[in-house]
């Protein structure tokens, strides 16, 4: 009996000792960062509003009111008084061309040139300061802003830049203009044949005008000297700083090059990657990732691969988006399938290989027939390989056939869309495709009503990276020319919470990161943005004027300005 009592005493003592040790080791550590006195829109429907957030080791550990989070305060906790400003999850741009955006920040600016004369004048001024042997690149010109609208040709710039090669691209990226010197360097002349998926625009005598559409652009760009590592690094650093200033904490880079991925990796190792990157190289390189056994969303939160970008067609502005019916202003045309779709079986084979390898597919498709054709292939690969969490995407999904909304939903395809394009194209789109087709253009509300997931982005550098402009576009649909203040097809408007969700959680879902980011919730990455105005109380037309006060990535400040 004495032995049993001794054993019981020893056991009780051991339990008490263990409990004491557990209790002492379970003391809550102090937060690295606390944001107080904020109006926090969490994006979490179960807990949508709060006033304070605590961050530890790059992740959110608590969300609530000021008093609740006092237990996380320690002597070294950084305290930020938000002064009642709106705190949002960091914006996640689901579709960017990040390198090109960074380069455009230093390139010639032609997008807001109001006339052909101003277009020429700006090129003349840039030519005066361009070192001999270097090219004039960039531009983002938009002839629809001229009166009358007209496609530019090489004669407009030959006289002002006779000794400087010029290659300036249209803002949608699906057409560019070369001067005569650039055409000679690229060996493009009247005898150069058109290529599948592209067009060399010619005059009445058959000579190139200098304008090259879609795949034909490759004939020219091959003559441009390759970008050095130093210039690539500079452009990406410029892009990162610009993104941080706008509250963009994650970007999904479409048709990313391996050279750019190497730069991201270098910056990540140096601790200088201030936005999270999901890189999607072209599907023409499907063998590269599939051979390595890489699957979707492979890598650390800062830099991941495992997605592929495909092209089905061109753009509406360049008259290369692929439609069932002809264009109203060019009845002999209904668009061009990309070179990747010549033949369609080539695209199907590549997508089958990518899907079998577990890679995510993100396909640019703009015209209604192009979208239908991609949905057909997606349907085939699901039937061939079985159900899986693929998160197939169609990038842009601009002009839908009525029959395809249900298919979009039943195939669980994500609509990766760019609201700013709607208020830009809305200035002129009906002249090209008519009222009926335009009614299914940028059809965000119809998508949502069919249960399709939306992921918001900008397509930067095609459109501004600023999320406030995209939110404004989604909730107002007021075209840039001021002619539709009540909204262009206003039945397609979204509410502000819906637009914010698409820009945060929707984009996170589109890159398999909805468990890691997209809301201000305990356990998620501490990527947040503090905004100058309460977007929820602003008149919708004022949303575009709101500014970013502070941006955090993993709880570290990557941008700050005076409130």
H or E segment at 454? strand 454-456
Contact of 52 with 65, CB cutoff 8 Å:
yes
Q: Give the whole-angstrom CA distance, residue 377 versus residue 371.
A: 10
* 35: DSSP letter: E
Q: Give the whole-angstrom CA distance, residue 548 versus residue 530.
A: 6
Q: Give the whole-angstrom CA distance, residue 441 versus residue 425.
A: 10
Tens digits of pLDDT across the chain (563 residues): 444 444 434 334 333 333 333 333 346 799 999 999 999 999 999 999 999 999 999 999 999 999 999 999 999 999 999 999 999 999 999 999 999 999 999 999 999 999 999 999 999 999 999 999 899 999 999 999 999 999 999 999 999 999 999 999 998 889 999 999 999 999 999 999 999 999 999 999 999 999 999 999 999 999 999 999 999 999 999 999 999 999 999 999 999 999 999 999 999 999 999 999 999 999 999 999 999 999 999 999 999 999 999 999 999 999 999 999 999 999 999 999 999 999 999 999 999 999 999 999 999 999 999 999 999 999 999 999 999 999 999 999 999 999 999 999 999 999 999 999 999 999 999 999 999 999 999 999 999 999 999 999 999 999 999 999 999 999 999 999 999 999 999 999 999 999 999 999 999 999 999 999 999 999 999 999 999 999 999 999 999 999 999 999 999 999 999 64
- Say whether 155 sits in a helix, a strand or coil: helix
In 86-135, the DSSP E strands lie at 86-89, 91-96, 108-109
Q: What is the pLDDT of residue 16?
A: 39
Q: Could you give the C-alpha distances from 138 to 73, 107, 123, 167, 175, in angstroms and in order?
A: 49, 6, 11, 7, 12
Non-local CB neighbours of 85 within 8 Å, separated by 6+ positions: 38, 39, 530, 531, 532, 534, 549, 563
H or E segment at 455? strand 454-456
Contact of 414 with 392, CB cutoff 8 Å:
yes
Q: Which two tokens stand for residue 217?
A: 């652009």
**Distance between start and end Cα atoms, the chain:** 75
Q: Which two tokens stand for residue 133?
A: 């042997």
**What is the SS3 assignment for 159-212?**
CCCCCCCEEEEECCCCEEEECHHHHHHCCCCCCCCCCCCEEEEECCCCCEEEEE
Q: What is the pLDDT of residue 28?
A: 76
Non-local CB neighbours of 511 within 8 Å, separated by 6+ positions: 92, 94, 250, 252, 278, 297, 304, 307
pTM: 0.90
Q: What's the maximum distance between 2 C-alpha atoms anywhere in the chain?
A: 114
Instruction: Indicate if the alpha-carbon torsion angle 273, 274, 278, 283 is positive or negative.
Output: negative
Non-local CB neighbours of 411 within 8 Å, separated by 6+ positions: 375, 378, 379, 382, 392
- Say whether 71 sits in a helix, a strand or coil: helix
Per the DSSP assignment, residues forming a β-bridge with 35 are: 53, 80
Q: Give the whole-angstrom CA distance, residue 261 versus residue 239.
A: 14
Contact of 396 with 441, CB cutoff 8 Å:
no
Q: Give the whole-angstrom CA distance, residue 115 versus residue 122.
A: 11
* 228: DSSP letter: P
Q: Which two tokens stand for residue 473?
A: 């576009």
Compute the half-sphere exposure of residue 275: CA atoms within 13 Å on the CB side of its CA.
Answer: 30
Domains and their CATH numbers in the chain: 31-84+520-563 (2.30.40.10), 99-221 (3.10.310.70), 229-513 (3.20.20.140)
Which among 93, 516, 128 has a CA at the least distance from the CA of 299?
516
Query: How are strands ordered across the β-sheet holding 307-311?
Result: 307-311, 360-365, 393-396, 414-417, 454-456
Q: Give the whole-angstrom CA distance, residue 414 versus residue 438.
A: 21
Q: What is the pLDDT of residue 5?
A: 42
Q: Could you give the C-alpha distances from 183 to 176, 200, 415, in angstroms and in order?
A: 12, 11, 38
Contact of 470 with 503, CB cutoff 8 Å:
yes
Contact of 303 with 292, CB cutoff 8 Å:
no
Per the DSSP assignment, residues forming a β-bridge with 63 are: 53
Residue 431: Cβ within 10 Å count: 13
Q: What is the pLDDT of residue 562?
A: 67
Burial label for 61, CB within 10 Å (0-12, 13-18, 19+), is: buried
Contact of 432 with 367, CB cutoff 8 Å:
no
Contact of 477 with 488, CB cutoff 8 Å:
yes
């Amino acid at each position: 009996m004495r032995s049993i009592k001794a054993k019981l005493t020893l056991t009780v003592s051991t339990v008490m000792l263990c409990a004491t040790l557990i209790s002492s080791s379970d003391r809550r550590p102090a937060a690295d960062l606390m944001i107080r006195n904020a109006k926090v829109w969490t994006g979490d429907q179960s807990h949508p509003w709060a006033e304070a957030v605590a961050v530890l080791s790059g992740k959110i550990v608590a969300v609530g009111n000021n008093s609740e989070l006092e237990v996380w305060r320690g002597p070294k906790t950084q305290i930020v008084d938000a002064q009642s400003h709106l705190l949002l999850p960091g914006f996640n741009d689901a579709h960017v061309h990040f390198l090109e955006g960074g380069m455009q920040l230093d390139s010639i600016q032609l997008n807001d040139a109001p006339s052909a004369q101003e277009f020429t004048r700006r090129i003349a001024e840039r030519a005066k300061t361009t070192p001999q042997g270097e090219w004039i690149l960039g531009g983002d010109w938009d002839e629809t802003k001229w009166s009358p609208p007209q496609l530019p040709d090489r004669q407009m710039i030959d006289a002002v830049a006779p000794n400087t090669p010029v290659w300036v691209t249209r803002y949608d990226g699906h057409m560019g203009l070369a001067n005569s010197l650039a055409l000679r360097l690229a060996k493009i002349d009247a005898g150069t044949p058109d290529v599948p998926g592209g067009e060399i625009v010619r005059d009445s005598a058959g000579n190139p005008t200098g304008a090259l559409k879609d795949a034909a652009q490759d004939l020219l760009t091959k003559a441009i000297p390759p970008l050095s590592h130093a210039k690539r690094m500079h452009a990406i650093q410029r892009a990162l700083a610009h993104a941080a200033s706008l509250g963009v904490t994650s970007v999904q880079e479409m048709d990313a090059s391996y050279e750019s991925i190497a730069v991201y990796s270098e910056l990540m190792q140096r601790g200088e990657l201030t936005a999270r990157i999901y890189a999607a190289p072209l599907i023409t390189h499907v063998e590269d990732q599939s051979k390595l056994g890489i699957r979707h969303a492979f890598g650390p939160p800062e830099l991941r691969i495992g997605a592929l970008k495909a092209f089905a067609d061109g753009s509406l502005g360049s008259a290369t988006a692929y439609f069932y019916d002809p264009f109203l202003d060019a009845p002999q045309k209904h668009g061009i399938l990309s070179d990747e779709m010549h033949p369609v079986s080539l695209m199907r084979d590549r997508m089958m290989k990518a899907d079998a390898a577990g890679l995510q597919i993100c396909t640019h498709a703009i015209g209604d027939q192009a979208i239908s054709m991609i949905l057909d292939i997606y349907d085939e690969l699901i039937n061939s390989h079985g159900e899986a969490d693929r998160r197939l995407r169609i990038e842009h999904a601009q002009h839908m056939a009525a029959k395809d909304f249900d298919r979009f939903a039943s195939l669980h395809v994500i609509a990766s869309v760019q609201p700013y394009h709607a208020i830009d194209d809305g200035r002129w789109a009906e002249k090209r495709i008519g009222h009926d087709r335009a009614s299914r253009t940028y059809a965000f509300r119809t998508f949502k009503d069919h249960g399709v997931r939306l992921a918001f982005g900008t397509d930067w550098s095609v459109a501004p990276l600023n999320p406030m402009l995209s939110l404004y576009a989604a909730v107002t649909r007021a075209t840039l020319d001021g002619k539709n203040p009540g909204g262009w097809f206003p039945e397609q408007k979204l509410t502000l919470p819906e637009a914010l969700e698409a820009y945060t959680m929707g984009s996170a879902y589109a890159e398999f990161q909805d468990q890691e980011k997209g809301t201000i919730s305990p356990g998620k990455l501490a990527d947040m943005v503090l905004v100058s105005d309460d977007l929820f109380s602003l008149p919708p037309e004022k949303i575009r004027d709101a500014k970013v006060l502070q941006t955090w990535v993993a709880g570290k400040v990557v941008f700050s300005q005076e409130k």
